[in-house]
Amino acid sequence: MVTLTSEEKAMLDGEQGAATQKAMELLVRYAEALDADRFVETNNVAGVPGSATPWLKNYYAEQGGDYRAVFSMFDLDADEVVDIPRMNAYSCHLQGGMDPVLWAEQGMTPEAHENFMSDEREVAGHGIQLLKTCTPYIAGNVPVMGEHCAWMESSAVVFCNSVIGARTNTEGRESTSAAMLAKRIPDWGFHRPEYRYGHHKIDVQIPVEDIFDWGMLGYFVGDAVQESIPVIEGPVGKASLIRHKHFGAAAASSGGVEMYHMVGITPEARTAETAFGANKIGQTFVYDHAARKRIYESLNSVGSSTDVDYVMLGCPHYSIEQIAQAAHMLEGRKVSSNSALWIFTSRAVKATADANGYSKIITDAGGYLMTDTCSAISQAVPKGTKVAALDSAKQVHYLPAMMGIEGWYGTTAECIDAACSGKWNGRLAA
């Protein structure tokens, strides 16, 4: 049974309004399902509040079919429609379904775009920040060590826990929407210190330094440990935001990794002993040249034709550092008439790319710099795409399977070469 504070009881009694009451009712059902004893307070919530397809709005047509109806009956799972006030917690909206400007290029209809704009006005009107990205931590929402968050998006969750040392479970749409109103989330899982210790050891025996290799190591780790917490030891170097971003997204795709420790690198792993804490070391998985080769082949198992007609970069959304690198590689070149190049980022990062002239370099080369979404989330690829080249282990895990296309995994430089030549020439350097 979950124990409630007097403020939480007051919320349940409706003293903070009907919407917060419905939010608290859902959170109590959720806490009881988890067998949590209590709630933690959170003032950092990232979700997809109230955004709905026309199907969902139509389902609630009798209840008004609007944002209010969807938020009440779907997000809060309530049996009646209530007024939805401005959110109480610091809240942001994660990635969405299309680019706000280049939606027609993505193949979206004017009706779908109008639905998107209508939701966006509501989100803004409810005080939810329109970060529109899978990387809130590089678009204006950086938690601090130990902060209790309620985040969706597996790649953001693993970054939040592992790299920052903030605390979140992989929340869902309904729990984040409710937390935006009630500022509470069940005290379970990654909110509790004892849950955050490592389970298995990853023995890295070869140098892992560039972002391409960090991605492959992440994919190996997720496949090895599945949903548990790995402790990575060995010559993993040149740690940086973009390397962690790629590593975590990969580990959360091949497995369900929500937190990892890198000894001497991540904040809760000053030593292997602190990383494992009270836990006994479970299995040990060795990452060596043979394992690296096996992962490369696995990531490239869905590629056979070398005629690349689509290159997608920006999974998770590119940082300004990555956009600058891509722009430098593209400068003075042209995307092949047989291919296409779409690069995805957040609106905040794109504003900087615009100011720096990177957006113009990409556009002049015949590529697009897009925001809000990616090809997997929007299920939008250039018309007729058969073979994609990707520099993200996560995206090559999802996109070819979702869209029924072939896919190649390589370095950013190999992907940009493929966009400019229309040919895949990737290979695994020793």
Partner 1 sequence: MSTVLDTPASAETRGKPDIVLTGRRVVGGIAEGEALVTAETISGWGGVSPMTGTIIETRHELRGVSFAEKVLVFRGAKGSSGWSAVFHTSRLAGAAPRAMVFNEMTTKVALGCVVMRVPSVTELDGDPIALIDTGDYVRVNGDAGTVEVWKKR
DSSP state of 281: P
39 binds partner 1 (CB under 8 A): no
Nearest approach, Cβ of 284 to partner 1 (angstroms)? 23
Number of amino acids touching partner 1 (CB under 8 A): 30
Nearest approach, Cβ of 281 to partner 1 (angstroms)? 21
Measured CA distances, 315 to 41, 136, 145, 340, 393 (Å):
31, 13, 25, 16, 9
DSSP state of 275: H
Q: What contacts 85, CB < 8 A, 6 or more positions away?
A: 17, 19, 126, 181
153 binds partner 1 (CB under 8 A): yes
- Residue 208 to residue 215: CA distance in whole angstroms: 10
Residue from 401, 425, 427, 428 binding partner 1 (CB under 8 A): 401
- Residue 378 to residue 373: CA distance in whole angstroms: 6
Query: Which CB atom, from 170 or from 373, has the smaller least distance to partner 1?
Result: 170
Query: Which CB atom, from 77 or from 364, has the smaller least distance to partner 1?
Result: 77
Residue from 39, 137, 188, 424 binding partner 1 (CB under 8 A): 188
Burial (CB count <10 Å: 0-12, 13-18, 19+), residue 419: buried
Q: Pattern of binders to partner 1 over 114-143, x per CB under 8 A?
A: ------------------------------
Residue from 142, 281, 355, 402 binding partner 1 (CB under 8 A): 402
Dihedral, CA atoms, 17, 66, 59, 171, nearest 10 degrees? -60
Query: Which CB atom, from 175 or from 319, has the smaller least distance to partner 1?
Result: 175
30 binds partner 1 (CB under 8 A): yes
Adjacent-strand bridge partners of 285: 202
- Report which secondary-structure segment, H or E, holds 22: helix 18-34
Show contacts with partner 1 in window 47-106 (CB under 8 A): 56, 59, 74, 77
Nearest approach, Cβ of 172 to partner 1 (angstroms)? 4
- Residue 328 to residue 164: CA distance in whole angstroms: 30
Tokens of 79: 């049996």
- Residue 194 to residue 283: CA distance in whole angstroms: 19
Residue from 2, 19, 23, 26 binding partner 1 (CB under 8 A): 26
Show contacts with partner 1 in window 329-348 (CB under 8 A): none
Residue from 154, 161, 266, 339 binding partner 1 (CB under 8 A): 154
Query: Which CB atom, from 30 or from 287, has the smaller least distance to partner 1?
Result: 30
Contacting residues toward partner 1, per CB under 8 A: 26, 29-30, 32-35, 56, 59, 74, 77, 152-154, 157, 169-175, 188-189, 226-227, 256, 398, 401-402
